[in-house]
Chain A
Amino acid sequence: MSATVLFDTPGPKARARSKAYTGITGLALAALLGWIGYRFWVTGQFDASMWARFEYTDVQWAIVQGLLTTLKVFAIAGAASLVLGAVLAVGRLSDHAPVRWVSAVIVEFFRAMPLVIMIYALYRWQFTDRPMWALVIGLTLYNGSVQAEVIRAGINAVPRGQAEAAYALGLRKSQVMRVVLVPQAVRSMLPTIISQLVVTLKDTSLGYVITYEELLYVGNQIAATTNTPNGFPYVQVMMVIAPIYIAMCLLLSWAARAIERRGGRTTSTGAALAGAGMAAGD
């Protein structure tokens, strides 16, 4: 049902009412923004000393370094989670019960655990000196498990005739999976897979919790080491870091939506099944 079914085409009275609501909302928004601006003003956030640090090239480089570190973790964890996801998905569809069972336990366990609990345990266990690997492994296990469910739903959504035809041509089980089913599943699930990659990108910021020097941690360091007469510039750092994160995630999200619109291959049931993770805010 489209939104327009919910209300009639506005007549003169409704248009007037709509205008009134628009005015009231606009005023409320302006008041909110004004109040925030006022808080900025009275707490000295516009003071030049709060922003001066960003003019130094070392700080600018630190931010670039943090961004590159974030992207590095994202690239490794994203790629590894796709491989793990494909393996686990095929494992859950295996003809051998033990393989199915083990894959199911892995997928269900890592999906049910809060990611930060796992990353922290990994960090304290083996990776105290190499926090990057705690982050990468944690991200890979969690997102790989979610990707496994996405790909599995995709494989199940491939029409049965495809596998039957492949078997009739004399392909082996592994060939049917590798050559026929998985490529189609990945293609039809691409929007959902990319949405989950957005989640992976977002979760790289958990590196902050285990003191790994990704973008958010670098931001924290910049703010914590800049003592100005008006206090530490956390607000300013936020205003620099947050747009970078949001822009990266938006780009990926838009890519997912563009592919969804262009492809037209996503089966709605499969997407609904598998999109649950991203839609749930995991």
Chain B
Amino acid sequence: MDFLNTLTDNTELFRKGFLGTLALTGSSALIALVLGTLMAAFRVSPVPVLRWIGTTWVTILRNTPLTLLFFASVFAVPKLGLNQLTYFVLAMATLGFYTSAFVCEVVRSGINTVPIGQAEAARSLGLTFSQTLRTVILPQAGRTVIGPIGSVLIALTKNSAIAGGFNVVELFSTQKTLTENANPLFAVFFWIALGYLLITLVLSGIFRGLENRLAVAR
């Protein structure tokens, strides 16, 4: 009974935490998808400087601990006088930037699966680089990487927990508050785990559905 009481006595905290995780994951996913695709475009572009920016962005972000990034954005960035940003905005940007590096690599691998003939045909029709990429390559690449993008977003959901250690209200911060208020440890862990499982299972379901609908037969 204790088990259920932990949930029913603290519904408000759990609700806030769950919604916090949803909001954080959703908003940073949006940043990651847009920025990641842009960086992938940079990495295959004809301009060397842009390629360099894309490569550097990915290399640095993939080799930096996310906790360190959070630490830097929460403690160091406000020291530069940017102290009007809320913890949520900082966490959203941190997660979005970090994840964009992984989105970039996934999209780039998708670009590599598009048959060479597609790009050659596009070029021989006289399309420019950005037209080739926008109208021919990316639509096809996007369809082949739906599965991997799903994995990236599931990892993002799990990574968003770290934000709870940096003053953002989400499921991990709920776990901390409840555990520190002497609620049964395993009951709290169970309900928090269930919350994350719910999000990741729904995400993987959505992406499996998308994959089936949009898959290209080759």
Interface residues in chain A, defined as those with a beta carbon under 8 Å from any beta carbon in chain B: 1, 3, 5-8, 10, 14, 18, 21-22, 25-26, 29, 36, 39-40, 42-43, 45, 112-117, 120-121, 124-125, 198, 201-206, 208-209, 216, 219-220, 223, 231-232, 234-235, 237-238, 241-242, 245-246, 249-250, 253, 276-277, 279-282
Contact = CB atoms under 8 A, between A and B. Distances in A.
Contacts of B188: 121
A43 B162 CA distance: 28
Interface in B63-104: 63-68, 71-72, 75-76, 79-82, 98-99, 101-102
Nearest to B150: A280
Interface residue SS majority, chain A: helix
Nearest to B21: A114
Contacts of A21: 47, 49-50
Given A121-B185, A216-B65, A253-B63, 14 more contacts: A3-B44, A18-B46, A26-B49, A113-B193, A114-B160, A114-B161, A203-B67, A206-B67, A208-B71, A234-B75, A238-B72, A242-B72, A280-B151, A281-B159
A22 B116 CA distance: 27
B59 interface: yes
Contact of A112 (B65, B137, B196): B196
Contacts of A204: 65
Given A1-B114, A1-B116, A121-B189, A205 B68 contact: yes
Contact of B172 (A3, A45, A112, A114): A114
Pairs A-B, 7 closest by C-beta atoms? A114-B161, A249-B63, A281-B102, A205-B65, A205-B67, A280-B151, A202-B65
17 contacts: A22-B48, A116-B162, A117-B172, A121-B188, A124-B185, A201-B65, A202-B64, A209-B67, A216-B65, A220-B71, A231-B79, A232-B79, A234-B75, A235-B80, A245-B65, A250-B63, A279-B152
Nearest to A50: B79
A90 B73 CA distance: 42
Contact of B99 (A3, A116, A281): A281
Contacts of A7: 45-46, 123, 129, 132
B154 interface: yes
Contacts of B161: 114-117
A219 B76 CA distance: 12
Given A1-B114, A25-B50, A117 B196 contact: yes
A43 B47 contact: no
B31 interface: no
A66 B60 CA distance: 22
A204 B67 CA distance: 9
Contacts of B66: 202, 205
Given A114-B172, A115-B158, A246-B60, A279 B151 contact: yes
A238 B79 CA distance: 12
B197 A112 contact: yes
Nearest to B120: A5
Contacts of A202: 63-66
B154 A280 contact: yes
Contact of B185 (A22, A125, A237): A125
A117 B185 CA distance: 12
A276 B189 contact: no
Nearest to B101: A281
B156 interface: yes
B79 A281 contact: no
A112 B157 CA distance: 10
Q: Which of B67, B123, B160 has the most CB of A within 10 A?
A: B67
B115 interface: yes
